[in-house]
Structure 1
Amino acid sequence: MSRSTDPGHFFQTSVSLSEAERKAKKSSNNNGIPIKLRSKILAVATDPDDTDAIYVAEAAGTVKKLSLENSKTTLLLTGPTAPLTSLALSTPTPACSSTRTLFAGCWDKAIYSWQLPYNTRGRTFVGHADFVKTLLFVPLPGRDVLLSGAADGAIFVWDVASGAKLSELKGHERGVLALTLDPVLGDEGKSVVVWSADSVREIRGWSVGVEGGDVVAKSLDPQAPIVAHETSVNALRFDADGDLWTASSDKTVKCLSRERGWAEEMSLSHPDFVRDVVVDERGGFVVTACRDEEVRVWERGSGELRHTFSGHFEEVTGLLLLGQLVVSISIDATVRRWSLAPEDLRQARLDAERAAKGEVKEEDKPKESLMTEEEERELAELMDESD
């Protein structure tokens, strides 16, 4: 009887070994036209200047710009030595610069930056007591700021030009996981409203603006956070109607109605933690990323599950919506692309139904031989004689 000499097998249960085998087998699939990288992908951001490109943050401490057209890495930004968890890009403004700055939050508690398109290292923002989880660039009148949320529960407001910490927003008791800009609230030309979510389950609103040349940041209502989930809120997204979509570790995605005081309008149940959500206004879909490796497409109006894209073999960590294309990232170190175009989605559903029935697509079927059985036997004999 043979015994494994692999030390990694000594303390593994049959369940964990079976799971490892399942993932290894699934990893060879080409669903979503995967772009394969070398380390876990923890964040993704669009390139406002190139609709064919995206930026990804890796656990290896690098930021890469990827071309979706040819699946190539077109830019590599280095410097950090710990995992990068979040990304944000500045908007060129008279207050800051005619170029863009890319910011990346890191496990080492710092925020790194690079000047684009020159790709030179910029300022490093230091101040958090725990790893940085989320970033948000906010252009204000005459002054651009960067907001950062971290596992220490703090939200810092940074001056982009000088790197100085301008303010600290207090209210969250645990780690801040998400930040987003409110598209409706705010005083145009003076202030904006930002929403944050944490690992306790609270969603809080903040006003950030300029008064007398100084940046002033304060809570909208410190006594009344939005509580719509049972545990961590991992992502916040506003739709075109100004309603708020939330993704949570309580295994749900919810739509909170602005008109009804952020009351729950819809809830989408999942089998595991939900990491991200995007809303496709054109197609009327909501797309979600789940820890169970799947990307799901839901009907916006009815909440009906329309399709499940399978391809990732580890947790899906983030989503981007580029027109009718959904880009997903995962700790399986791949970027995958899924089309929401009506014909493509219809075909994806048909392929999934056939696969569930064990049917093989025509192009995957083995080709029938054009020779008769006797001719095949004669050929086999000739091959044997030639050995």
Structure 2
Amino acid sequence: MRQGTSTGHFFQTDAEQALEERRATKAANKNGNPVVLKSKLLAAVPHPSASSSLLIAESTGSVRRVDVDSGETKHVFRGPVTPVTCVAVGGSGNHTVFAGSWDKDIWSWDLETGAPGRRYSGHTDFVKAVVCAKIGLKDCLISGGADKKIIVWDIETGSRIHTIQDQTVSMMALQALVIDPLESTPEAVVLVSASSDPHIRRWRITPSTVEQIKEASPGEPNSVRHSILEHETTVYKLFFDIEGEEVDLWTASGDGTAKCLSRQKGYTTDDIIKHGDHVRAVAVTDQWVITAGRDEDIKVWDRTSGKLYCTLEGHYNEVTDLVVLAGGDRVASVSIDGTVRTWLLHKSELDRINKEKEEKANEVEKETPEETGDNLMTLEEEAELAALMEDD
């Protein structure tokens, strides 16, 4: 362990200090035209009516509307004093911002004026996911928490309609919720949930009932499974590819993969993307699959071949969310490093990035002297030789 005079170095291992120094050096890069904010960014959703704006959940306890083109903050929705982990837009007229917080509550504001609205209290641990839906005639808010519960709320009255837990397989902290746009009806919503265990669950929710949907077991026509089990550990992200013909389910997991689960095949894996580290976010266009997570890089994969096409480097800490912007030719990323970055997805731009990397790699190779028998020993080799001589 290295000791230093800086208070920031106390109790740091060499590896931790090296990581900190690497991130500090990398922070100056301008890749992705960074918008620099003063907090950790934990989630993001597109603004429903402004194509270049995001609503971003911040660790400072606020939701910030940011225009990614101008870099301007258009509004800050304040209230919580603990980190905001998730954000959604919904309610009557799609005019309300909802945010789940570490304080166990869901906060709300008017989207246009920023006026605070109702506060929804009922979880007994952090709120990790929120989504809005219309169930019957009611505008509803659905939240998932670290308390292992899903709660369905009447937005207008703030009352709890349902509290949901898996009664067959122990459900852990909720991580993601999404509404199935194909199977939901005006009378019943089909909700898909993911949690810190690898199980993905589907629920059919009406104003008066909740049913956990059983899945046909792959290859076993006469048996069923109570959940979808296609990952090895935590599933962080769920979304339906509404541009696809089958409206299949995409997932991102701590097992280092993103997967497309085929609806026609009983939500079994149809495509797999091996990102290589914790995958916190996945997004798709008609041409690309984009993944990001703990390793700081954003990886763009050819959707047809499944091969890695380009790696976008710029963030210097974990990437927590990805949003494909209107038009599908750009993706925005948010990170714990406090930056929002926007990346063009044109093939010509990705080719340019790949060419620059190749040229830099060739320059480094030319500058590196060829190894010869006269090379000096490294410091490690000198230390090892000195130790051997002492032993002798």
- Equivalent in the alignment of 2:197: 200
1:173 aligns with 2:176: no
1: CA distance, partners of 2:355 / 2:75: 37
Offset of 1:271 from its aligned partner? 2.5
Offset of 1:181 from its aligned partner? 1.2
1:100 aligns with 2:95: yes
1:337 aligns with 2:342: yes
SS of residue paired to 2:350: helix
Percent identity between matched residues is 39
Offset of 1:215 from its aligned partner? 4.3
1:266 aligns with 2:271: yes
- Equivalent in the alignment of 1:154: 149
Offset of 1:10 from its aligned partner? 2.9
Deviations 1:268-292 (A, max 9, x none): 11221000101112xx211011200
TM-score, normalised relative to structure 1: 0.86
2: CA distance, partners of 1:199 / 1:4: 38
Deviations 1:37-74 (A, max 9, x none): 00100010101111021111100001111112210101
2: CA distance, partners of 1:215 / 1:309: 47
Contact 1:112–1:125 (Cα < 8 Å) also in 2: yes
1: CA distance, partners of 2:6 / 2:347: 49
1:27 aligns with 2:27: yes
1:87 aligns with 2:82: no
- Equivalent in the alignment of 2:127: 132
Superposition pairs for residues 45-56 of structure 1, below 5 Å?
A: 45-56=45-56
Q: What letter is aligned with 2:227?
A: P
Among 158, 182, 185, the residue aligned to 2:183: 185
1: CA distance, partners of 2:289 / 2:4: 47
Contact 2:68–2:340 (Cα < 8 Å) also in 1: no
TM-score, normalised relative to structure 2: 0.85
Range with greater deviation from structure 2 (111-120 or 10-19) = 10-19
Offset of 1:115 from its aligned partner? 1.1
1:217 aligns with 2:217: no
Aligned length: 345
Q: What letter is aligned with 1:61?
A: G
Q: What letter is aligned with 2:107?
A: Y
1: CA distance, partners of 2:147 / 2:54: 29
Structure 2: gaps of 5 or more residues: 216-224, 365-392
Structure 1: gaps of 5 or more residues: 360-387
1: CA distance, partners of 2:363 / 2:138: 59
2: CA distance, partners of 1:218 / 1:297: 37
2: CA distance, partners of 1:99 / 1:244: 24
1: CA distance, partners of 2:272 / 2:172: 24
SS of residue paired to 2:299: strand
2: CA distance, partners of 1:55 / 1:352: 33
Deviations 1:134-157 (A, max 9, x none): 111002332110110111110000
Superposition pairs for residues 245-260 of structure 1, below 5 Å?
A: 245-260=250-265
Among 295, 299, 303, the residue aligned to 1:296: 299
Offset of 1:229 from its aligned partner? 0.7
SS of residue paired to 2:200: strand
- Equivalent in the alignment of 1:370: none
SS of residue paired to 1:120: coil
